[in-house]
Amino acid sequence: MDIRFEQAEARFEGRTVLHPLTLSLGERRIGVIGLNGSGKTTFARMINGLVVPAAGRVTVNGFDTAKDGDKVRAEAGFIFQNPQNQIILPILKEDIALGLKGRKLSKQETEAAVEAVLSRFGIAHLADRRAHELSGGELQLAALASVLVTEPNILIMDEPTNQLDLKNRDLVERTIRGLDENVIVISHDLSLVADFDRVLLFHEGRLAADGVPQEVIARYREIAA
C-alpha cells in the first residue's frame, strides 16, 4: 500500500475542513481517530476519491485521486458508517454480484465469486436474505462482502462498530482482525485500533498526532478531556 498526501487540502463551501497535509501511509493496519468534526472522515474519503483535494494532491498506489478516480476506487474500497446505505439491491447475493457487472464475467464465474466471498465471511446462509432482515453485524459483513468481491488492495471502514451491541461488535472486530487486505479504520472505538500498526489523530482539521496506538490514544484522551 502506498498512499501519499502532498499538501492536500479539503474545503467545503469556502470553509477549510482539512488543512494542507503532507503524509505517506504504507502500514497494513491504520486507525484514524478524533472528535466529531475533526476532519478524520474527510481524510478517509480523500483516499478513496470521494472527496477531491481543493489544493494539493493525493495518490493511491500511484494513481491520482483527482485524475484517476475509477482506478483509485478499484484500489481502495470504502464501507460507509451505515452499511445499509450502500446495499442497493434487495437480495444480498444480487447486490454483491452487482459489483462484478463491469468485469464481463460469465454467469457461472459471477456466481462462483459471490459464493466464495459469502463463504469467506461465513454468511453463505444469508445469500437470499434482504438487507432489512439482517442484524447490525450481518449488515457489516454483507457490506464487506459487497466491497471485497471486487478485490481492492485497500479497505477503508468508517465507524464499523458504531451502534452495534456487544455480540455484533465482537463479530465485526474479529472479522477485521482476520482480513488479509490493507485496512484503514475510522473509529471512536479506541480498543478496536489499540493494536494497529499506526494511528492518526485529527483535531480541528489538522493532524494532531501520528504514531503508535498507545501514544496517539493518550494524546486523544488529553484533547477529549
Average of per-residue pLDDT across 43-49: 96
C-alpha cell at 161: 462498530
pLDDT of 202 strictly over 90: yes
Please report, for the domain that includes residue 188, its CATH number. Answer: 3.40.50.300
DSSP 8-state class, residue 103: G
Q: Show the domain range for 42.
A: 3-224
- Is residue 15 within 8 A of residue 59, CB to CB? The reply is no
C-alpha cell of residue 193: 485500533
126 within 8 A of 92, measured Cβ to Cβ: yes
Domains in the chain: how many in total? 1
CA–CA gap between residue 82 and residue 85 (Å, rounded)? 6
Average predicted confidence (pLDDT) for the chain: 92
- Amino acid 38 reads S
Residue-wise pLDDT tens digits, 163-175: 788 888 888 888 8
pLDDT of residue 106 exceeding 90: no
pLDDT digits (tens, 9 = 90+) for 181-194: 999 999 999 999 99
Strand extents, DSSP E, the chain: 3-12, 15-25, 29-34, 55-60, 63-64, 76-79, 154-158, 182-186, 198-203, 206-211
Confidence of residue 217 (pLDDT cuts 50, 70, 90): very high
The Cα 54–Cα 68 span in angstroms is: 16
Regarding predicted confidence, which is higher, 32 or 121?
Answer: 32
